[in-house]
Chain A
Amino acid sequence: MKKPSLAGIITVIVLLLVNLPILVIIPSSFTAAGYLSFPPEGFSFRWYAKIFERPEFIDSFWVSLQLAVITAVLAALFGTLAAFALAKYKFRGSQVINSLLLSPLTVPSLIIGIAALLFFTRIGLAGTFAGLLLAHVLISVPYVVRLVLTGLSSFDFTLEKAGYMLGASPARVFWDITLPLLRPAIVSGMIFSFLTSFDNVTVSLFLVAPDTTTLPLAIFSYMQETLDPLVASISSVVILLSLVFIVILEKVYGLDRLFGLQSQSH
């Protein structure tokens, strides 16, 4: 038996630390007490029941959900089309367009948020659902572009040519041949966009209005006034929801590939 290495021990510690906050929240939400504590005192669902007493959480949950779903669809659509243009047609300036499409990733969310606020106020989109949507799509498209481009980099375009030779129209070729092969990349792009949108705080911070706020922001403001197990119960719901998507993402694509880490096995 190999004795555990120092690197191995530190790895375990780091993994525990990184997952600690999440692991602590779920038990805390079941506390019977009226205040936050870990380990929880007693067992009760009262803090889950309390969620329904707070309309701001229910409403913001729906806003976040709608936002995330539409963002996922639009980002996946726009991003896939753009990636397709870049990969299939090697045109002059494609490198520039590529960098341009990925540029939102390099600029701090703070600046994106403030800039969007300033502009949207001018054109009346500040505080609207549409404004939020546009911003969320903006920050999600780069991820989709990158994912689909990677998927396309190993795509053999002669497969399409074979399709044409057999008599298929361009639309048919795209639907029957290209799309299925790109499905993992597109699907994971959609899921990732969904999560990015649902989780987003910093950009949304500048673009919400009292009646159109997102769930993370609702939690954020609540946390600045009170810290009680209600936050824990809401958070647990979100964690559970996110975990479902994380597992799907891992199965469809693989989290390591998603974050750009190509690891080869020994």
Chain B
Amino acid sequence: MAAKIDVELRNIKKVFQNNVVVQNFNLQVEQGEFISFLGPSGCGKTTTLNMIAGFLEPDEGDLFIKGQRMNGVPPHKRELGMVFQTYSLFPHMTVAENVAYGLKLRKVSKTEMQERSKRVLELVKLPHVADRYPKQLSGGQRQRIAIARALVIEPSLLLLDEPLSNLDAKLREELRDELKRLHQEIGVTTIFVTHDQEEALSLSDRIVVLNHGHVEQIGTPADIYHRPASEFVHTFIGKTNKLEGRVVARQDRLLTVETQSGLRLKAVHPERAVAEGDAVTVFIRPEKIRLTAADAPADANRAKGKVELTSFLGAFTECDVRIGTEVLSVKVQMLDPGLSLSIGSDICCQWSPEDVLIMPGERG
């Protein structure tokens, strides 16, 4: 049975003073999904969220929430929940009054208001702060109350605009886990805007990657990470090594690429659009490169080099290896005790063909 579509954006476009901020935005969000809009600042993610909320109107395209066309409907009639970057708790109301505000506007009975408020405060694990004022709460607590306030009205859709950006690193992780737990418990359809790829990867069912108003890719976290649709998506998520080279041999879908410094890589490229002689860009993630002793013979997907820089980072070690004119950034978790990573030592880098990503390069 087809899942229900809670939110649909069709060809959404927004222009600000001759700048196209968002275009060709098409998305269908299923009921209960956790979707993230991910991208650098200025990519249009917050603009799109504001259009879904009703604070901005699209210049072109249609917006549907639960099957109803929402273009032109003011925000206060959309029955959505929203959490802002700056929490936006009303400073002149107590926590209880803040949480109950949405219910008060809907003329819910006093007893029901109290009951539902109590339940939602227990849900965010803050049952005892009802009579305090927002300024007496910590940042993390305020954010949880903001979430409670949005959820208590039982919205069809929950919107979160970079809710964790104002928190310090430790609190961010804690609250991230909270959000995940809450989503699993309640299952409300959620759209989450962030520029932090870790947040997007860990929380989402699917991610929409945006760049300068364009949708670069829509996919599961695994899709985005392992099968990026474009160079932008690949380089935005996580670190990577980027090399330019030329296709020197092609056997069905197996390509052999040689870089400027003679590094040879073999990889499977899923499309047939790349031919022998074409210029391509090759990517390997640092954690996919293995370090071995330098005595093994050179081969495709294996190269000898010299250690240039080493950083011990506790859980893992980062290392820059110079191979000819290129430098590969490597990240290893467990080091072979026999290997030396001191500056200048010879070392061998090795990787599997599945971990090489090939993108068509520039012409010529």
Question: Is there direct touching of A and B in the complex, by C-beta distance under 8 Å?
Answer: no
